Chains A and B, each alone.
Chain A
Amino acid sequence: GQSLEQPSEVTAVEGAIVQINCTYQTSGFYGLSWYQQHDGGAPTFLSYNALDGLEETGRFSSFLSRSDSYGYLLLQELQMKDSASYFCAVKGGATNKLIFGTGTLLAVQP
């Protein structure tokens, strides 16, 4: 089977840096994705890591360590609009589908 663990809530202040961790267990791993969801709306894609290392896209970066079954999403220069739920999702298994974690609710305070 597949499972993911991430913190349920994180709080940070505007302008700060926050890291959201994700550990996973899966048979047949292809990659780790991150999604953002505002107010229960459509989850939107942020990043995908298939190989070890850091991927940077503007203020957001995502890291993967396949040997540790671990990844994180790094958000820099936090803004109020970054308050949202963040989900890690592993692509794996026999049919290559995306399996999501329970999400981390990020609250950015002034």
Chain B
Amino acid sequence: EAGVTQFPSHSVIEKGQTVTLRCDPISGHDNLYWYRRVMGKEIKFLLHFVKESKQDESGMPNNRFLAERTGGTYSTLKVQPAELEDSGVYFCASHRGVNTGELFFGEGSRLTVL
């Protein structure tokens, strides 16, 4: 069974540009989460999808961030326009059914905004 995959693994863009991150969860996992880690800080919750619906988007920093999960399979997280403080590692995680405390994480997408 393939794990959670994320693309790209690393992206370097300039302030004001747009970046789209993609996450493919484990097949059959209805629950999909986006998290972000800025160096030295916590792994911060951004939002949670159940299938194609946003269950909780309370962690999204502002309206420059847009997450979608059309069809309830893969998800994208777009940052437009990117700012310097958006730099960090964006992790995607998924699980099936009830949240038992075990999430399956991808390797993350490292975003550097110059």
Chain A residues in the interface with B (C-beta under 8 A): 4, 30-33, 35, 40-45, 48, 50, 87, 89, 91, 94-103
Contact = CB atoms under 8 A, between A and B. Distances in A.
A95 B55 contact: yes
Given A33-B101, A41-B107, A91-B101, A97 B56 contact: yes
Nearest to B50: A95
A101 B42 contact: yes
Given A42-B91, A103-B43, A96 B106 contact: no
A89 B93 CA distance: 14
Contacts of B91: 42-43
A44 B55 contact: no
B102 A42 contact: no
30 contacts: A30-B101, A32-B101, A33-B101, A40-B89, A42-B106, A43-B43, A43-B91, A43-B103, A44-B105, A45-B101, A48-B100, A48-B101, A87-B42, A87-B43, A91-B101, A94-B56, A95-B48, A95-B55, A95-B56, A97-B45, A97-B48, A97-B99, A98-B33, A98-B99, A98-B103, A100-B42, A100-B44, A101-B42, A102-B40, A102-B42
